Structure 1
Amino acid sequence: MAPVGVLDYIITYEMVHLLHPNHSSEFWTELDEKMPNYLKVNGVKLAL
């Protein structure tokens, strides 16, 4: 029932974990390269 954009983010998040199985700066950099500024723009929506 989540919006498609949120599902895209979750899938991308998990796929980046295949490369970086942690929450290191490399993980967040890679995720931001794939989905630039997603959390800054949509983070509040994820908490609802």
Structure 2
Amino acid sequence: MDYKGQVAVAKFHEKQTPVKFDKKQQIEKLRAEYLKKKQKQTDK
């Protein structure tokens, strides 16, 4: 692969990374909410 190709791939991955990061954060948020609900149920 030539230099231009490598730069294009690097830029492509830079664009892709934030999406994966956002999804990870979303999953963590959902998990936290789920655990909170579960705790409330066991407290009753």
| TM norm. shorter chain > 0.5 | no
Query: Whose radius of gyration is greater, 1 or 2?
Result: 2
Higher helix share: 2
What TM-score comes out, normalization by structure 2 length?
A: 0.40
